A and B are shown apart, each in its own frame.
Chain A
Amino acid sequence: MALVQLQNIKKSYQLGKTEVVALKGVDLTIEHGEFTVVMGPSGSGKTTLLNIIGCLDRASSGSYKLDGDEIGHRDFNDLAEVRNRKIGFIFQNFNLIPVLDVVENIEFPCVIRGEDRKALRERTLKIAAEVGLTPYLKQKPDELSGGQRQRVAIARALVTEPQLVLADEPTANLDSTTADQIIDLMLKLNREHGVTFVFSTHDPRVMEHARRVVRIHDGVMEDGTDAAAHEAGRMHAAMGH
C-alpha cells in the first residue's frame, strides 16, 4: 500500500474578491522509503502541495489517503494527531521553540502526547548522537549555528518515529558545506531507517541525490516525473520493509 495517495487534489484560496487556484487536480503516489523532491518555481503550488500532504492544510476537493486512511475531511484535532503520530517536519527557518533547549526541542512532539519520559529520553539521546548534537544538548536555539539548528529540527522530526518527513526548502538558509552535511544526514537516515522524505527545494544538490523528482508548474504536475527513480524508491522500500 502506498504511503501517500493523492487523487485529483484541487486547492483554491480566496484572495480578497479574487479566487486563486493553487492546485488544479494533482495526482501523486509516494511509496514507503522514497526520497522524493518536489520541484517548481515560486508560486507553482509546491508549498501548497506539501502543506496538504503534511495535513497542515486541507484540499478544496479530491482524495488524500495517508497509509491507506482517507484523511482529507478530518477535523483540526484529528489532523493534529495525524501530524504528531505520522509526520515529521523540517522547515526552512528551523522553527525551534526558543525557550526550550536542544533536548527539550527534540522531545517536544512526544511530550505533548504524554509519552513515557524515560524511554523517550533514551531515544532522544540516541537520535541526538546520530545527528551530531551530543555536545549541545543543553544549549538554547539562539546559541546554535544554522546547521546545528537544522539538525535539531531533523532530530525533532524523527523522534516520533514518523512514516513521513516533509522538508520545505531545508537547505535554503544554510551555507553550502552545511547544506551538504544536512543532505548527507537525511540520505543516511533514509537509507538506514527507511524514513520516507519529501522535499520541496530549488537546491540542485538535493535534486542530485533524489531518487524521484516531481515537477509542478501552475498547480499542475508536469510530465517528466522520473519514473525510474520512482521505481528505485519502490525497490528501496521493498527492501527496507
Chain B
Amino acid sequence: MFSLLQIAVRNVLRNKRRTAITLAALLIGVSVMVSIRGLLNGLQRSLVQNVVQGQTGALQIHRAGFLKNVLSSPLGLDMPQDAAFERKLLSVKHVKAVSPRILFAGMINVADQTIFLGVQGVDPIREFQVVPLRAKTLDDKQQFASGKVADAMVVTEQLASALQGSNVPKGAPAALLAPDRDGALSGENVTLTGVMKLNMPGEKKIGMVRLDVAQRLLKMEGRATEYIVAVDNIDNIDQVAADLNVLLGKDYEVSTWEDIAAFIKQAMQRQNFILSLVASVFLILMLLGVANTMLMSVMDRTREIGTMMAVGVRRSKILGLFLMEAATIGALGGVIGGAVGSLIVLVLNRRGISVSFPGSNVPFTIQPFVTPTYLLTIVAIAGLGALLFAVYPAWRASRLRPVEALAGG
C-alpha cells in the first residue's frame, strides 16, 4: 500500500539525473553556508576570547563618569584598592577573580629621548588571572610577574622601537613622568625589563608597570582607577553586571566587555549581517534551482497529472504532491549539505587556522564550529524554502484542466 508521500518520494528518485543536479546545488550551497558560519563562529569566539581574556576582562568597574572622561585620565575618579573592597566584589555570584588597575598618561625618558605614552599600573599575578592571554604577549612574563625587579616596566614593541630603534637593552634605566592626582608633575625611575606584543588593534605606544609603582608616582597609594572582573561563564555577564550595579550603587559604573570594546561587537554584527546577505543570495539561487526542477517536472508529467485528475484526485492533492516532492528534495539537500558542511567544519576545527588581527602581531588560532541549532535551522530553511519556491509550479500543476492535461498540456 502507498500514500501520496510515497509517490512524492518515488517521483523524486524517478529522474535521477535531474534530482542529483538539484541536490548537488543544494548540497554545495548548504555546505558552503555551514562552513562560512563555522569559520565566523570560530573567528568571533577567538575575538571575544582575545578581548575578554587578553585585554578588558569580562567586566570592568569604574567610578561613575570615568569612561566619559577617559581621555583626560581623570585620576580623581578613583576607588579604593583594598581587601575589603575586593571581598565585596568577589561576594557576587559568578565572579571568579578581580584585579585593580590604574590607567594614566605620561612620558617616558630613555637616554636623551622622551616620548608620550599611555601607562597601565597592574598587579601582575592577579592581572594574569583575569586576563590570562595577556601574559602570553610578554616576552618575559616571569620577570615582570615575580617582582624581582620592583620597578620593572614593559613597553610595546612599537614604543621600544620608537625609543631606541628596535633595540632596547634589557635592564635599561628610564624615567617615567606623569602629572599626579593633584596635577603636579611627578617622576619615578623604572627599569625596562622587556617588551609586549599588542593582541588587539588600538593605541600602540603603551607601557605597563607594577601597581605600586604607579600608585607611588601618582600619589594614589591604596587607590585604583578600575577593577577588571573575570566570571565563571561569559553567558552570565549581564546578571553579574546587574548584581554589581546593585551592590556598588550609583557612584560606580559597571561595563561589560561589549561596552568597552564596542567596535568588536559592531564588527561581529557587521560580519553576521554580511554572512546573512551572502547566505540569502546562496539560498535564493539554490531554491530557484528547486523551483526550476519542479517546473520542468510539471511540464514533463502533464499527462500524468491529467490521469490523476481523471481518476478523481482533487486539486489540493496535486498541489500537495508537488510540494511534498520539493520539500523532500529541499530536506534531503539540506541534510546532506549540512552533513558535508559539518564535516568540513570538524576538519578545520581539528586542524585550527592561525591568523592575527590587522594591527596586531600576536597570532591566534581559530577553531571553527557550528551549533546543532544552526544546523537544524539551515535544514529547516532548505526544506521550507524549497516548499515555498515550489508553490508556483505546484499551483500551476493543480490548476491544469483535466482535458488539457490529458492531451499533454
Contact of A80 among B314, B403, B406 (CB under 8 A): B314
Contacts between the two chains (Cβ within 8 Å), count? 69
Report B-chain residues with C-beta under 8 Å of the C-beta of A107. 1
Q: Known: A57-B401, A99-B11, A100-B7. Contact between A109 and B2, CB under 8 A?
A: no
Shortest distance between the CB of B263 and any CB in chain A (Å): 58
Any A CB within 8 A of the CB of B176: no
Any B CB within 8 A of the CB of A70: no
B173-201 to A contact mask, C-beta < 8 Å, 1/0: 00000000000000000000000000000
- Chain A residue nearest to B13 in the complex (CB): A99
Judging by beta carbons under 8 Å apart, are A85 and B312 in contact?
Answer: yes
Could you say which interface size class chain B belongs to?
20 to 34
- Chain A residue nearest to B317 in the complex (CB): A112
Report B-chain residues with C-beta under 8 Å of the C-beta of A54. 310
C-alpha gap A85/B7 in the complex (Å): 22
Contact of A108 among B303, B311, B401, B403 (CB under 8 A): B311
Judging by beta carbons under 8 Å apart, are B401 and A156 in contact?
Answer: no
Shortest distance between the CB of B13 and any CB in chain A (Å): 8
Query: Counting chain A CB atoms within 10 Å of each CB, which of B2, B311, B314, B315 scores highest?
Result: B311
Shortest distance between the CB of A239 and any CB in chain B (Å): 30
Q: Which of A87-95, A199-207, A214-222 forms contacts with chain B?
A: A87-95
CB-CB contacts below 8 Å: A53-80 with B: 54, 56-57, 76-77, 80
Judging by beta carbons under 8 Å apart, are B311 and A156 in contact?
Answer: yes
Grouping DSSP codes into helix (H, G, I), strand (E, B) and loop, the B interface class, with mixed when no group exceeds half, is helix
B302-337 to A contact mask, C-beta < 8 Å, 1/0: 011011111111110100000000000000000000
Report B-chain residues with C-beta under 8 Å of the C-beta of A81. 312
Shortest distance between the CB of A145 and any CB in chain B (Å): 19
Any B CB within 8 A of the CB of A188: no
Contact of A113 among B10, B14, B312 (CB under 8 A): B312
Shortest distance between the CB of A201 and any CB in chain B (Å): 17
Contact of A57 among B7, B312, B403 (CB under 8 A): B403
**13 A-B pairs with C-beta separation under 8 A:** A56-B309, A83-B310, A89-B310, A91-B307, A95-B306, A98-B14, A100-B7, A100-B10, A104-B1, A108-B311, A109-B312, A111-B1, A112-B313
Any A CB within 8 A of the CB of B402: yes
Judging by beta carbons under 8 Å apart, are A91 and B311 in contact?
Answer: no
Judging by beta carbons under 8 Å apart, are B307 and A95 in contact?
Answer: yes
- Chain A residue nearest to B1 in the complex (CB): A117
Shortest distance between the CB of B395 and any CB in chain A (Å): 14
Top 4 A-B pairs, shortest CB-CB distance: A84-B312, A99-B10, A95-B307, A109-B311
Report B-chain residues with C-beta under 8 Å of the C-beta of A100. 2, 7, 10
- Chain A residue nearest to B310 in the complex (CB): A89
Shortest distance between the CB of A105 and any CB in chain B (Å): 10
Q: Known: A57-B401, A100-B7, A112-B317. Contact between A80 and B304, CB under 8 A?
A: no
Shortest distance between the CB of B379 and any CB in chain A (Å): 25
